[in-house]
Structure 1
């Protein structure tokens, strides 16, 4: 806790006996019960727990943003002594954005796509401070510089879609801080961000808090982030606050089984050791006791013919003039990459958003056409396969399972659909196989009659895995397949993938920006930057002895579940990933690689990394 927080006499936010209920079938059901908390100026309180624990509902209650017709708030919420429960809508409009502000999880859905970022930051200044547009523009420039947006004066008139995810989140922070609120609520502000951008945002919030003395209510399910930023921690479980206290004390000696389970489920860099992938330890969330995890044997097929061979693969997308339709420039999304993958092996592809990871996966699945290079599966060129043949050899698991499933199909029909499309089974046998596949991924066959909305996020991802297995592919591309999941569910899904790999000898291309998960699941790692592989090698070699400056930068940004490091400033470079858009006449430079160890290759870098 900062000095400001320690000397403050009365809390900025005080909640007493908060009970929040939602109406369902004419009856109000409580989703948050008996919540009490205080946050002082300059202090950060983290509310942690898995999806459905009541974290975001608490934040929305403070903002009075829950729907009046279907929700009921009881108890007391005081902001600097003023009672918010029962406040009129007009009074809350005066308070929101002025005395309390909120940063939401997904900045793209929170920003107006038809207004420039400068106009959106100025909006609250004009509304709450009554200043002119010219004065507001000067203040906007200062705010954009404060949140470290490069070339702020030039970018003020850009639109949200012209910013990266990390820069959009900085815009959201600038909007939230515009009127210097006493309380800042951050609801999962870094969950969907790359590890380097996440580290920059966390450092930015800490720096601005130190400068302004703002009280921060930080909502997350990532205990590593909690350790990085929180003075005190409140743990919630199914709507009930079960443990609260100093963050260091909670990490050192958690009292409740659920808190111990949350901490045990956090993957730590360096915990995987040498050798192949290792399952995550699974903890019973009710008792906090570890559950048995089967030991893995060596799954890699060491025969001469690899499952997958990628050679000098490139993908470029043309940008044409809207008037002449002539090519103006190109996106060099993937440039001259080469790698192999054996049966039963996992190759992790890591890097920041925009580096070409997902495009590589789509190239392998035949969803995009390569500009040049070759892809061979079991020695046969992909271009020689029909689309149906390729689908039976390569399947993808996407990041958002809800968007990947048809809401109008039962999960049984969703899993059976590929079998029917390819004429491999009759409708009756396809549904039976679908129920068997549900059992393979740890769900019961009886669940097949349900629809996607009736499952949790982790269960939906298991359904997507079952559908991917329906055609018995040898290669599965998992594109950020566990990024949006709670830590305990993430551990279960990763362990399921490892179990299926061992039994079915599956090859995985695991695309992720979560370095701690990558260390657990992969045999080898390839690090991508601006469409190129800058370092590749055995997982233990890359993590224990990174050579390329970009790999070192990625690893240094990973949040560690150690609250004693909270006040350490890491001095991360405040820069965006460079644009992969090049002039249409651009010729990619020839790259050289050196061997740093057995199978460990590193791109020779130039002055830009000096």
Structure 2
């Protein structure tokens, strides 16, 4: 490794103009990135890690931000360059991959044109040369049939493939440094594994340095040579990744590591277990308790789904005739008992969210039966539906979009109680105050608006609102996927505590296998709208039978630095399309019983 760093950040300080005064959000951050090295900056939302990367690239608005210190790229201070000179650096010497590729790609231009623009602008290539090089790049980032997909638009790609397009664009000019800001956070676990493997391979081939920004300690362990831990705008610890993981000194570092759910940690435990919550001041972790058995065995299920099928018409042509169907959910059957958590797992597009919405009748199923508390949900009229929704409530993935920004927290929680005429306005406010306390917030927060809360607090408000009607079943649709690791642990513990005290049944929809292992009594694995494996949590995780279940488990990042050189060797194929021609008949499926209650689909 050469002595001179590719990037040297010295005493970086970034401030924003807030109400006429400068407020510092990053303070005295210093680090080097050597040639061919991967350095990870870790921390939770608000720690300043993304602002650090935007400061390095000078992507903050000049009128409302101020950057001090030095950012040396191969000895040249980027903070002293003019904006015109910086345009020659961005995308050429330094490239950046952002968290959400759909907001980074222009929807009105083909992906080929967007990648070619980098080559024609920075490398002076002709259109023909740029097209040939773009095709090579698309194949390099493992996009199947790159030549044919040159003229496709961003919306024609899946999330994982769009992120590959962003990587191809970032690599187009062969930069010396790649800054990856949360590039895998929004992706399914198997796609995340493929992207991490891809970045490792390309780094070896191109010899570039990588600055990797994330809050996922499992990802850090697998990809980083050195790690920098940030907390409230300050660098609290830095060192070799192995040292940080095995001998972390700062309480916050230990707190982050302790809150990471580890796959396999539930061996020899029968029931769901609380996540460790660590005091960031002392760094001491409390060994979590196993949750007492709450499942009503031998009783009638609170929710019974039989042969549920949900399809969406695909229309084309001048007269918009139906030419096919999206087989979103196909012949699904399962029971859910009082006090039980059944997790639906699988990648985006497998039909798990559509299953939850079909049960709630937010989308209309095509066929099947759904019995809730003994009555058939699919035969209910509007009044019956209104009463049914007292018994089953839904928590959505993004609390900010599911809460009305013009309503206070108290009003949002009280609204279902008032709409269903369960009491007076005063009783509704008293219930809202009580629920806020129950979900770990304060009744004094009732008059605040959603934007005045953090992401984790907003999700607690969404949970309180779901509880306002005293439901028996809660459908939690990716309800912790977007949360930081320690906030995720707190919200999961809250759900487990509520289940125990209120005897709630959870249909827990997620693609996070480590969280599912800790939360579940039973697990159902979905693929292309069908359940391919279902059984008790221990049976599915410790003895997976279906190839797809094995693939999901193998893709989970493990927070162990010893795995850093490992390649998972995951196939680059995407989830197959659930679109079928009009009139297509689904073949009948058979299931083999592996052990008591553990069923696997036979090919």
Deviation at 1:357, TM superposition (A): 0.5
Corresponding position of 2:228: 234
1:589 equivalent to 2:587? Answer yes
- Equivalent residue for 2:399? 401
Q: Does 1:546 align with 2:544?
A: yes
Q: Unmatched 5+ residue regions in structure 1?
A: 1-6, 606-610
Aligned pairs for 1:347-362 within 5 A: 347-362=342-357
> SS where residue 283 of structure 1 aligns?
coil
Q: Does 1:455 align with 2:438?
A: no
CA drift at 1:383: 2.2
Deviates more, 1:327-336 or 1:281-290: 281-290
Shift of 1:428: 2.0
> 1:4 maps to what in 2?
none
Q: Which residue of 1 aligns with 2:557?
A: 559
Instruction: Determine the structure 2 residue equivalent to 1:494.
Output: 492
Native 8 Å contact 1:366 1:390 kept in 2 = no
CA distance in 2, matches of 1:154, 1:232: 39
**Equivalence for 2:107:** 113
Aligned residue among 13, 21, 24 for 1:19: 13
- Cα deviations across residues 195-231 of structure 1 (Å, max 9, x unaligned)? 0000000000000000001110000000000001000
Could you say what secondary structure the match of 1:267 adopts? coil
In 2, distance between residues paired with 1:92 and 1:421?
A: 56
The residue that corresponds to 1:374 in the other structure is 369
Q: Answer yes or no: is the 8 Å Cα contact 2:40–2:212 preserved in 1.
A: yes
User: By how many angstroms is 1:158 displaced?
Assistant: 1.0
SS at match of 1:113: coil
Measured in 1, the distance between the counterparts of 2:290 and 2:114 equals: 54
Map of 1:165-244 to 2, 5 A cutoff?
Answer: 165-244=159-238
Structure 2 CA distance for aligned equivalents of residues 290 and 265 of structure 1: 9
Cα displacement string for residues 348-381 of structure 1 (whole angstroms, at most 9, x for unaligned residues): 0000100001000000111011111110011210
Please say if residues 371 and 377 of structure 2, whose CA atoms lie closer than 8 Å, have aligned partners that are also in contact: yes
1:89 aligns with 2:83: yes
Q: Which residue of 1 aligns with 2:570?
A: 572
For residues 195 and 285 of structure 2, the distance between their equivalents in structure 1, rounded to whole angstroms, comes to: 34
Give 4+ residue runs of structure 1 displaced > 6 Å after superposition: none
Establish whether residue 36 from structure 1 lines up as the match of residue 30 from structure 2.
yes
Query: Which residue of structure 1 lines up, in the alignment, with residue 359 of structure 2?
Result: 364
In structure 1, what is the Cα distance between the partners aligned to 2:455 and 2:177? 31
Query: In 1, are the aligned partners of 2:13 and 2:24 still within 8 Å (CA)?
Result: yes
Q: Normalising to structure 1: TM-score of the pair?
A: 0.97
In structure 2, what is the Cα distance between the partners aligned to 1:247 and 1:579?
39
How far 1:26 moved relative to its partner?
Answer: 1.1
Aligned-residue offset at 1:293: 5.0
**1:581 CA displacement:** 0.5
Question: Residues 95-139 of structure 1, C-alpha deviation per residue, up to 9 Å, x if partnerless?
Answer: 110011110000111111111111111111111111111111101
Structure 2 partner of 1:599: 597
Question: What secondary structure does 1:588 align onto?
Answer: coil
Deviation, 1:291, is: 4.3
Question: 1:99 maps to which residue?
Answer: 93
- Equivalent residue pairs, number: 599
Describe the SS at the equivalent of 2:417.
Answer: helix
**1:474 Cα offset (Å):** 0.7
Partner of 1:520 in structure 2? Answer: 518
Q: Kindly indicate whether residue 503 of structure 2 is the aligned counterpart of residue 508 of structure 1.
A: no
SS of residue matched to 2:356: helix
Query: 1:303: how far off?
Result: 4.0
Equivalent of residue 531 in structure 2, options 530, 533, 548: 533
Per the TM alignment, residue 430 of structure 1 is displaced from its structure 2 partner at its CA by 1.1
